[in-house]
């Protein structure tokens, strides 16, 4: 491993270590928030693999998040699966949905790609309402899962510490995977597709296959976030498949900086606290902040915060 690579891995491992240590100092309110932020960051890291690395703008990632959440939720609710088994079913469901979606959309790029993904996610959202005898529709499924037995200890899912560390493990895994992916030959081809697909194809790469694989990895990671969210917070409902859940990972990724490893965490964290602050003011239409953020990013921060920091550093040195 070269010196630069060591430094990059060391930096990101330090971030993970900091997130581990900070749990002993966080007040209860922020403890729960950071747990959610880390799960959202896993969702956004999955999204970033497509948008940031491959350059494909999806408007339908709620589809994968919901596939994971419903896979886990339905397995636990109808078949009485335990947390670990339900999580596995959720990830499996997300993988399956990603494979099918990938097979449908792998020929499309650009505008067509984003509209097909939007349409498929909308079809899924409407299906969760239509088949409400199974999904319980809008109202959703509330789960009460048994504790996990691990090394003789019994981990209750209601315990904030269990939630926090489960989310941290998922986040650490996703972050390291995305770092490794970006530096691997496979990731290099993805970036080449983002920069110039025609040229990459001329070099002999089957770009459609690379895009397909990127979508499957991205969708499965997003589904993992959904499945874990459903298990840790004991709920899944139609809103998980709604347009809002497709907009948010886009917003987090763009805000943090598309194509950067830590951007998704940064974006999810800032947006979470912005929305918390806006809703605490008691104003009814507090989600307007999402709209303002989207417009501000488009106009002034097209590279996101991480990209902006990076440019500042470059200018100074």
Residues forming contacts to other proteins in the complex (CB under 8 A) are: 57, 59, 104-105, 107-108, 110-112, 114-116, 118-120, 122-123, 126-127, 129-130, 243, 247, 250, 254, 283-288, 290-295, 297-299, 302
The smaller minimum CB distance to other proteins, of residues 22 and 243, is found at: 243
**Cα(132)–Cα(111) distance, integer angstroms:** 32
In the chain, what's the furthest Cα-to-Cα distance? 61
Would you say 7 or 107 has its CB closer to other proteins? Answer: 107
Q: How far is the CB of 263 from other proteins (least distance, A)?
A: 15
For other proteins, the closer of residues 6 and 298 by Cβ is 298
Rounded to a whole number of angstroms, the minimum distance from the CB of residue 296 to other proteins is: 8
- Cα 295 from Cα 126, distance rounded (Å): 28
**Nearest approach, Cβ of residue 60 and other proteins (Å):** 10
CA distance 67 to 220: 9
Is the Cβ of residue 21 or residue 111 nearer to other proteins in the bound state?
Answer: 111
The structure tokens listed for 225 are 């976030």
Angle between helices 185-195 and 207-233 (to 10 degrees): 110
Tell me which H or E stretch contains 236. Answer: strand 235-236
Please name the residues in contact with 17: beta carbons below 8 A apart, sequence gap of 6 or more.
none
Non-local (6+) Cβ contacts of 32 within 8 A are 160, 163
In the complex with other proteins, the residue whose CB is nearer, 137 or 173, is: 137
Contacts of 166 (CB under 8 A, 6+ apart): 228, 232
Q: Considering beta carbons, is residue 142 or 283 the nearer one to other proteins?
A: 283
Q: How far is the CB of 123 from other proteins (least distance, A)?
A: 4
- Residues 164, 258: contact at Cβ < 8 Å? no
Cβ proximity to other proteins: between 17 and 126 the closer is: 126
Cβ 35 vs Cβ 232: under 8 Å: yes
Cβ at position 204, least distance to other proteins in Å: 24
- Closest-CA residue to 245 (of 264, 273, 226): 226
Q: How far is the CB of 254 from other proteins (least distance, A)?
A: 7
Shortest Å distance, C-beta 299 to other proteins: 6
> What is the SS3 assignment for 190-222?
HHHHHHCHHHHHHCCCCHHHHHHHHHHHHHHHH
Q: Quote the least distance from Cβ 262 to other proteins, whole Å.
A: 21
- C-beta of 230 vs 250, nearer to other proteins: 250
């Amino acid at each position: 491993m070269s010196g630069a690579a060591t430094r990059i891995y060391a930096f990101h491992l330090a971030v993970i270590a900091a997130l581990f240590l900070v749990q002993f100092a966080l007040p209860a309110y922020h403890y729960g928030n950071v747990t959610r932020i880390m799960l959202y960051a896993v969702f956004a890291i999955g999204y970033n693999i497509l948008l940031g690395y491959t350059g494909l703008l999806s408007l339908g990632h709620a589809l994968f998040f919901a596939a994971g959440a419903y896979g886990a939720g339905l397995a636990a609710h109808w078949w009485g699966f335990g947390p670990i088994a339900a999580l596995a079913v959720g990830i499996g469901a997300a993988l399956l949905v990603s494979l099918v979606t990938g097979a449908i959309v792998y020929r499309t790029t650009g505008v067509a790609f984003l509209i097909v993904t939007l349409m498929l996610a909308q079809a899924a959202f409407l299906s969760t309402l239509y088949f409400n005898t199974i999904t319980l529709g809008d109202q959703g499924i509330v789960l009460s899962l048994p504790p996990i037995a691990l090394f003789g200890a019994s981990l209750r899912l209601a315990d904030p510490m269990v939630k926090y560390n489960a989310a941290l493990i998922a986040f650490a895994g996703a972050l390291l995977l995305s770092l490794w992916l970006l530096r691997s030959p496979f990731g290099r081809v993805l970036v080449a597709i983002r920069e110039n697909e025609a040229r990459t194809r001329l070099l002999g790469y089957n770009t459609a296959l690379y895009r397909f694989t990127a979508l499957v990895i991205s969708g499965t990671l997003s589904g993992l976030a959904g499945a874990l969210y459903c298990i840790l917070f004991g709920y899944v409902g139609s809103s998980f498949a709604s347009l809002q859940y497709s907009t948010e990972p886009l917003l987090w990724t763009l805000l943090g900086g598309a194509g950067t490893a830590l951007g998704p965490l940064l974006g999810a964290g800032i947006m979470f606290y912005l929305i918390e602050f806006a809703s605490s003011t008691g104003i009814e239409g507090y989600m307007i902040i999402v709209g303002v953020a989207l417009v501000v990013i488009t106009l002034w921060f097209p590279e996101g915060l991480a990209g902006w920091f990076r440019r500042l550093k470059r200018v100074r040195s």
